Amino acid sequence: MVTPSSPADLGAAPATNAVAGAAGGVVSALLGPVEHIRIRLQMQPTGTERLYSGLKGFRHGGVKGIFKGQNIAVLREFQAYGCNFVTFEACMQMMAEAGKKRREDLPTGSVASCGALAGVAFWIGSYPLDVIKTKVHNDRFGPNRQYKNAWAATVQTWNTGKLPAFFRGLGPTLLRTVLSSSGIFAINGWQVQWIFRYGKTQASHYHSAAHECMAVLSGTATIRFGVADTVADLDESTYGSGHEGGGLQLEARAGDVFVIPAGIAHKTFDAQPSEDFKLLTPGNGHGIAASDVRGALENLELSGFTMLGAYPVGVQWDFATGGENARNYAPVWEVPKPENDPVLGKDKAGLVGHWE
C-alpha cells in the first residue's frame, strides 16, 4: 500500500519555488546579448546586405549597445520562470496528493502534463514583457531609435493598441507550446485529428464509435452536454425550446480539456470572439494531412474560439445527430473505455481512476 506523501515529499512552498524560478530566470537573462543578436538577425530582411551583427552593435553603443534592453529582459525572465516553477510544482503536488503517491512515483504522462501547463504559464505570465523586450531589442541605435527606453516602448504600445497590443501573437505562441507538448497525447495513445474554429452554433451531435478529447486553445464558448436537438432550426434548438431538457451546460475557455464518452450528445455555441466555423488543419478533420504535421500546426493562425480534437489511436469518429442508433444502443455503449487518460495517462487522478 502506498501512503500519501508528506509535505516535504511534495516540494517546497510556492514562495520558495517562485524565488527559485525567478533566480533561474535572472541567470538566463545574463545571456541577454545573445538574445538581442538573435532577434535582430531574425528580423533582418532577406535578400539585402547584412544590416546587423554583434560587432556592429558593439561599434554603435559599446557594451551598453550589446546589453540594450537588458533591464526589461531581466524582468521578463524573472516573471516567466517564476510563473513556470510555481505552476509546475503546484501541478506536481496536486498530482501526488490526488494519487496518494510520492512525486518520484508519478507516471511520465502526469509529469509531462505538468510541464505543458508550466509552459503555458511561462508565456501567459510574461508575454506583455516579452512584447516590449522584442521591440527594444529590434529598435535602431543612436538618434534614429524609436524608443528611448523600455518604458517609452510600453507607453507607445499602449497608445497605439491598448491592452490587446501587449498580447499580439500570443495565440500562435501558446499553440506552439501546446504542440511542443502534444507528445503527451501520443504517449497516452490518443491522436490529434483536427483543430476547428467554432462559429455561432452547431447541431447537437454524438460519436457512435469513438470517445473524444477536446482541448480549448483560444477564446470562450458555451458547451451543452447530454442534450439532443428536437428541431432542425439551429436558433430554436440553441436558444429556444427546441432541445431536450436536462443535461449539463458550462462555459469553456482556453486550457480546458474535456473527455466525452461515445454516445454523449454535445453542442458548442456562443463562441467568442465571433468568427465563422472553419477547419484549420490540413485534410478533412479525420487526421492531419501533412508530411510535417508539427510544422503545419505551428504555422496555424488561431482566432476566435478554437479547440483541438483527439481520439484513441486507430479510431475514426462520425457525426451522429439522432436516430442513427435507434433501438441499437449496444454498439455505442460497448465502445471499450480508453486505456489511458489523454493527459494524465494511467494516473488515478484522471479518467483511469474514475471511469468504471
pLDDT band at 280 (very low <50, low <70, confident <90, very high): very high
Tell me which residue of 196, 178, 197 sits closest to 342, measured CA to CA: 178
| DSSP 8-class letter at 225 | E
Last residue of a domain, one of 177, 201, 235: 177
Residues 91 and 131 in one domain: yes
* Dihedral (Cα; 97, 103, 109, 114), 10-degree rounding: 80
Report whether pLDDT(207) > 50. Answer: yes
Confidence band, pLDDT 50/70/90 cuts, at residue 150 = confident
> According to the model, what pLDDT value does residue 212 have?
98
**173 and 48 within one domain:** yes
- Domain end position, chosen among 177, 207, 233: 177
Closest CA to 19 of 73, 78, 105: 78
Question: Which residues lie closer than 8 Å to 240 by C-beta, 6 or more apart?
Answer: 233
Can you give the pLDDT at residue 5?
Answer: 39
Split into its structural domains, the chain has a count of 2
Q: pLDDT by residue (tens digit) across 9-29? A: 444 555 555 555 455 545 555
Dihedral (Cα; 300, 282, 263, 183), 10-degree rounding: -60
Provide the percentage of residues in the chain whose pLDDT is more than 90: 31
The domain of 100 spans 12-177
CATH code, domain with 237: 2.60.120
**Average pLDDT, integer, range 31-45:** 55
- 2: pLDDT confidence band, cut at 50, 70 and 90? very low
End position of a domain, from candidates 177, 204, 228:
177
Query: Could you tell me how far CA 241 lies from the centroid of its own chain?
Result: 35
Q: Is residue 259 part of a domain?
A: yes
Looking at the structure, do residues 162 and 257 belong to the same domain, yes or no? no
- 68: CATH: 1.50.40.10
* Beta partners for residue 196, in sequence order: 279, 307
Average pLDDT, integer, range 225-247:
96
Q: Are 217 and 130 part of one and the same domain? A: no
pLDDT score recorded for residue 177: 67
Q: Is position 94 within any domain? A: yes
| Residue 50 Cα distances to 43, 54, 62, 131, 224, angstroms | 11, 11, 19, 24, 56
Average pLDDT over residues 30-52: 54
Query: pLDDT tens-digit profile of 281-316?
Result: 999 999 989 887 777 777 788 889 999 999 999 999
Dihedral of the CA atoms 294, 300, 306, 310 (nearest 10)? -20
